[in-house]
Amino acid sequence: MKDDVIRKVAFEIDEFEMKHYNEDTKGVWERVYGDLNQVDEQIHELQTRKKECLDLSEMAWDLTTIMANTRCEVDQLEHLGVQNGLIRSKHLHNFLLAARHRDEHRYHDDEIDYVEVKIPWYLENNLIEKLYLKYHETRIHRVFDLINKYIFDEKEEHEDWKGIYAWWMEMKEIWEDEIDDEETVSNHYHDNDTYWGYDVDPTECQNLKDFFRKRIRAKVQEKKEAERLSQEEAQQKKKQALELLRNRVHKLKRYTSLKEYGEKVKGSVYWMIDVTRKYAKDKYGMLYAGESKNFHRRYTAYEPRANGKETELEKKFKKKLPHISDDEIRDFVRDPEACKLKVITNTRLSNAEYRLAWERRIIKRFKPLLNLK
């Protein structure tokens, strides 16, 4: 443990990777791309000089040389990949061989002395290693998942496919806190990689049973929290939908159907008076009384017209008092100080019978000049 053999393995792998994959040092990758660029230039030259006389033998020789170099470099890349894997494999194999000696069922020579050591529960046999393998994740796990997702996954399409640059930037963000380290994938064996599932660290539990009990409790709590958030989200969506509906209904309150509008229009009774008692000479001076289901529409018949056309009141005057000139009638009716209008409007007058009864009462009591007797 003092020598920290695992960290030594990590550094050896880093040394190999930095030697062959360092961005600052041109290696096989750059040579392969250089050769491929030369092939591309030769093809481009063929396209641009297709009408000229070409030395095909010289060009074929150049392409043959370039392709031969490319094949060698591709083989070398494959060897580097294999070698990189072998570095991990040789150390992993040694660890497995060493782990065999921790098997409690393995035969031991009786002549060998045995010792008793008091250790925490999670260090018994290879329990802590098993727990790490199954319940612990590091940053490397996340990088592996990204590469597997975007590069090696056999699925043809991904819903969140963003291109090679996108996943590389995602991977780079994972390491942004370790910017001082060398930029390789495998050298990040950090002591602060504490991503235990459900945030339950076995070294903080009383025993294995307590470890699983806390995991189950955390899992149930996480499920409840997810359900709570889901319910809140559903309630929020429902609230928004209701709010939209209320707003829509609120706006629709300003509208009404044609039938409903006709039923809700307030009825009216109205009358005109002769203020100066020039023509209606009794004490009431009433000229005409009438009723209407919709006085706004009825008023158009009495509204003075700019084109000089006779209003209905002027026609009634002319019919009742034919000896008066048209100009005199028009001047009287359109004089705001001589002829005035009174309108009474309420909901009860929407009833036709009630409205007609009111009109008859007014005519009977005040005897308007222009109403038919």
Tens of pLDDT along 291-320?
Answer: 998 888 888 888 888 777 889 999 999 999
Instruction: Tell me, yes or no, whether 201 lies in a domain.
Output: no
Rounded distance, CA 366 to CA 205, Å?
A: 103
Query: Between these two residues, 25 and 152, which has the higher pLDDT value?
Result: 25
Show the DSSP H helices in 110-207 as ranges: 127-135, 139-147, 164-174
Question: Does residue 64 have a pLDDT over 70?
Answer: yes
DSSP state of 155: -
Q: Mean per-residue pLDDT for 334-346?
A: 90
pLDDT value at residue 246: 73
Report if residue 27 sits inside a domain: yes
* Position 87 in a domain: yes
Give the residue, 61 or 8, on which the prediction is more confident.
Answer: 61
Tell me which DSSP letter residue 148 carries. Answer: I
Based on its alpha-carbon atoms, the radius of gyration of the chain, rounded to whole angstroms, reads 50
- CA 335 to chain centroid: 68
E-strand spans in the chain?
Answer: 136-137, 195-196, 267-274, 286-292, 339-346
- How far apart are the C-alpha atoms of 255 and 64, rounded to whole Å? 84
More confident residue, 128 or 99: 128
Is 157 contained in some domain?
A: no
Q: 372 CB contacts (<8 Å, ≥6 apart)? A: none
First to last CA, the chain: 125
CB atoms within 10 A of CB 211: 21
Task: Give 116's DSSP letter.
Answer: -
295 within some domain: yes
Other CB atoms closer than 10 Å to residue 328's CB: what's the count?
12
Question: The pTM is what?
Answer: 0.38
CA distances for 330 relative to 225, 259, 291, 316, angstroms:
84, 38, 23, 12
Tell me the residue range of the domain where 356 lies: 264-366
Q: What are the residues whose beta carbons fall under 8 Å from the beta carbon of 128, sequence distance 6 or more? A: 122, 202
**219: enclosing H helix or E strand:** helix 208-252
- The answer to whether 79 and 52 are in contact (CB under 8 A) is no
Final residue before a domain boundary, out of 45, 76, 103: 103
Kindly tell me if the per-residue pLDDT of 89 is higher than 80.
no
Under 8 Å between Cβ of 167 and 149: yes
Could you tell me if residue 334 is inside a domain?
yes
Residue that is last in its domain, among 37, 70, 103: 103
End of a domain among 88, 103, 118?
A: 103
**3-state SS record for 20-87:** HHCCCCCCHHHHHHHHHHHHHHHHHHHHHCCCCCCCHHHHHHHHHHHHHHHHHHHHHHHHHHHHHHHH
Asked if residue 208 is part of any domain, the answer here is: no
229 sits in which H/E element: helix 208-252
Q: Answer whether residue 24 shows pLDDT above 70.
A: no
Q: Is residue 346 part of a domain?
A: yes
Query: How many structural domains comprise the chain?
Result: 2
